[in-house]
Structure 1
């Protein structure tokens, strides 16, 4: 019998690459062949590390790539996501279909046993998403919850949101993706990211969903999804069940020097701060909570490092990109100040680290509410990130016995 061959095509962002490669590792352990599809840009960034990682994981794994439709010198920042999505739908889609056809034809011509028999791509079948994010996107528009009634903006953000089974008791308007606050009253599709989510779920009745979550974490949302989709599988947390080597998943090179520094610190004494891979203008974001003025090239790692060291002094260690899973499981880490991306949320929960949440966009708002209001192992400081709030939140997370027991 021919061995199944799965083509895995994640969205070309760090968070998607992380969990999709963990997913690919699980498929390889099951004896399948996997072709992992990057964009040309990302595969070039991975460089030799990609080939070395593929060889280390399995001889049945290979990396291929397609164009994303953007110029080579495009910075591919978060504010350029609409252009990236457009490029993938046009240039990338054509190249993807041609590649898929060539794989099938090549397998038939050479009698290979591992022709592609299944395809996994985001967002239609997405191991990255939480169940809660996927359960509410379209129905809120149908119910008239979006756009927000009234004047919009920040008015009424603490009002409860109707129409999300299992979440009516705690979900507020401020917990929905930040884009929801700025929708015009005359349209529900003004934001390209929301539009893509609605489009991806509009025809889900016959779709299968693979979600990087666990029944114990999101049982109500999973139950709701199961009523509206062909199949729903909770297959996470993937990073704990089938971890891929860190070098294979990261577009940035890990700086392991922080681990030796952590070894020298007392137990549960360190606050680990990471705002993810897509947070725009990190210096500007940190000005307010740190009560400082860090101006300059906001994307200069050396400048950011020096600015943070100037504020924190000798008691800090700043690296461009940390091996997060190793950091979170280190005995010295007592708190995680996070942007609440789903990967970071799942990793923090799995390691039992108290978290302080500072969400920015997309699913981060709802993730922070879920963990703070339902799971109870986080302090949610969305929309109130000032120096005093940060100090009180970190102190509560570090010292609260109730949070640590969760």
Structure 2
């Protein structure tokens, strides 16, 4: 359900206050922060976004917002990214490299003559150093957590430093066992979260501690999806929490994508039967090797259904784009399969031809699939993705997890379960029910609508 922005703006008292936002410069973090900026702007706040140079947003796409770039020095280490798969390294680096430039920029904004008073700063939770900066400037800091509530609880519980926590396991004979501290997950899930347990432990500890020190937390989720986790988290982190998501549903399908979208696929989708297409996309960060890539290709080919496959340039290690496809793959598939570099994902998922979403389970993608009532096939890669995938498959039961990675027989079986079997019909019924709950939560009087009103009142009280 898309909200009427004119109505939304008219029911609130316009604020003569500024809010300063600071996103982490990665696609899955920039998108929800810009969506939040737009939501708050419709409620009358003036928005200034401090942003790193890396993955800089295009200000011309947001003429109603003010952008202030700062030096991030990430270019010194960005060249390591193709070989250094430790995501925590780059987040921890940014916390060190941006703190001085962020401090200077924020101080300058606060000192600007003739401008509205700044009500608060909203930063990505992963920018944990900003809490001390905000405290020094006596400015309330609210954090945006771009992952699920369940992910946050898992990060609190998992023994990142402990040799019993699976990170130090060398034998795979325990990989199918549940993790005692968080039984939803298996040891093999934990092994995917990070290749650097010490770094992950440092990041999680710093992030969680500074979330507890903040003035509040904004979540891109809705209460009905994670209600029990919200109750647990409210006890663990006793600061105000606002579940006003899914953010992208406040507006017509739009994009803050850093990669150009191929919109020609929408006319191809128009020609496909309802709920017949397998849509496969593994996000903006994940990489797979050549063997895995070929298994995906064979899995899609062998099921005999039409498919739309997003292959981001550089996604396959050692390849520019499609060089590693099986011989004559495109010719054999003909018009049954389409491969593109990037897609308008929200529109693809909303299209009546889309039957399932084969995803890496980044939180934005997971939410988008739920919002359109599309069941999932889960191939998580890193960070919060294995946690999200377990919720999809084992808690909400709206998808299938590829337990053994990319293997053509398992891929074919998973697609069949979701697209052809009675089990898939039941998944579709459950995810369709969640879609209805999303729409109710965003409607007047719904949980997300109330949470947004509470957030606006809270910020206005500073």
What's the TM-score once normalised by structure 1's chain length?
A: 0.83
| 1:150 Cα deviation after fit | 8.8
Is 1:359–2:380 an aligned residue pair? yes
Query: In structure 2, how many angstroms separate the alpha carbons of the residues matched to 1:237 and 1:284?
Result: 36
Query: In structure 1, how many angstroms separate the alpha carbons of the residues matched to 2:16 and 2:191?
Result: 41
Query: In structure 1, how many angstroms separate the alpha carbons of the residues matched to 2:291 and 2:356?
Result: 23
Question: Is residue 348–residue 354 contact of structure 1 (8 Å, CA) maintained in 2?
Answer: yes
Query: 2:187 maps to which residue?
Result: 173
CA RMSD of aligned residues (A): 3.1
| 1:111 Cα deviation after fit | 1.8
Aligned pairs, how many?
380
Is 1:111–2:119 an aligned residue pair? no
Name which of 28, 32, 38 aligns with 2:51: 38
Match of 1:239, SS state, is helix
Q: Report matched runs for 1:61-210 at 5 Å.
A: 61-71=65-75, 74-75=78-79, 76-77=81-82, 79=85, 81-106=87-112, 110-115=113-118, 117-123=120-126, 125-141=143-159, 146-148=164-166, 151-164=169-182, 168=183, 170-176=184-190, 178-179=192-193, 189-190=197-198, 192-207=199-214, 208-210=216-218
Change (3 A) 1:304 1:35: farther
Match of 1:334, SS state, is strand
The 10-residue stretch of structure 1 (304-313 or 114-123) with the greater mean CA deviation from structure 2: 304-313
Query: 2:138 maps to which residue?
Result: none
Query: In structure 1, how many angstroms separate the alpha carbons of the residues matched to 2:218 and 2:69?
Result: 23
Name which of 307, 314, 320 aligns with 1:300: 320
Name which of 19, 22, 47 aligns with 1:9: 22
Is 1:280–2:287 an aligned residue pair? yes
Name which of 250, 270, 291 aligns with 1:241: 250
Change (3 A) 1:157 1:66: same
The 10-residue stretch of structure 1 (274-283 or 72-81) with the greater mean CA deviation from structure 2: 72-81
CA deviation vs aligned residue, 1:169-208 (integer Å, no higher than 9, x gap) = x44333436146x67xxxxx52x23431222113544432
Q: Report matched runs for 1:323-362 at 5 Å.
A: 323-362=344-383
Query: In structure 2, how many angstroms separate the alpha carbons of the residues matched to 1:263 and 1:375?
Result: 30
Question: Is residue 122–residue 144 contact of structure 2 (8 Å, CA) maintained in 1?
Answer: no
Query: In structure 2, how many angstroms separate the alpha carbons of the residues matched to 1:96 and 1:151?
Result: 39
Match of 1:176, SS state, is helix
Query: 1:186 maps to which residue?
Result: none
CA deviation vs aligned residue, 1:339-396 (integer Å, no higher than 9, x gap) = 1111110000110111111111111111111011111110111334310111111111
Query: In structure 1, how many angstroms separate the alpha carbons of the residues matched to 2:41 and 2:289?
Result: 37
Query: In structure 1, how many angstroms separate the alpha carbons of the residues matched to 2:417 and 2:362?
Result: 21
Q: Report matched runs for 1:310-329 at 5 Å.
A: 312-329=333-350
Query: In structure 2, how many angstroms separate the alpha carbons of the residues matched to 1:21 and 1:244?
Result: 14
Question: Is residue 341–residue 364 contact of structure 1 (8 Å, CA) maintained in 2?
Answer: yes
Query: What stretches of structure 2 of length at least 5 have no aligned partner?
Result: 1-13, 129-142, 300-310, 431-462
Question: Is residue 177–residue 362 contact of structure 1 (8 Å, CA) maintained in 2?
Answer: no
Match of 1:216, SS state, is coil
Query: In structure 2, how many angstroms separate the alpha carbons of the residues matched to 1:367 and 1:377?
Result: 12
Query: 1:396 maps to which residue?
Result: 417
The 10-residue stretch of structure 1 (236-245 or 217-226) with the greater mean CA deviation from structure 2: 236-245
Query: In structure 1, how many angstroms separate the alpha carbons of the residues matched to 2:170 and 2:222?
Result: 35
Question: Is residue 193–residue 382 contact of structure 2 (8 Å, CA) maintained in 1?
Answer: yes
| 1:220 Cα deviation after fit | 1.9
Question: Is residue 393–residue 400 contact of structure 2 (8 Å, CA) maintained in 1?
Answer: yes
Query: In structure 2, how many angstroms separate the alpha carbons of the residues matched to 1:265 and 1:41?
Result: 39
Query: What stretches of structure 1 of length at least 5 have no aligned partner?
Result: 184-188
Query: In structure 2, how many angstroms separate the alpha carbons of the residues matched to 1:338 and 1:382?
Result: 14
Change (3 A) 1:369 1:272: same
Match of 2:122, SS state, is strand
Match of 1:215, SS state, is coil
Query: 1:22 maps to which residue?
Result: 35
Name which of 230, 241, 260 aligns with 1:232: 241
Query: In structure 2, how many angstroms separate the alpha carbons of the residues matched to 1:215 and 1:366?
Result: 18
Change (3 A) 1:142 1:252: closer
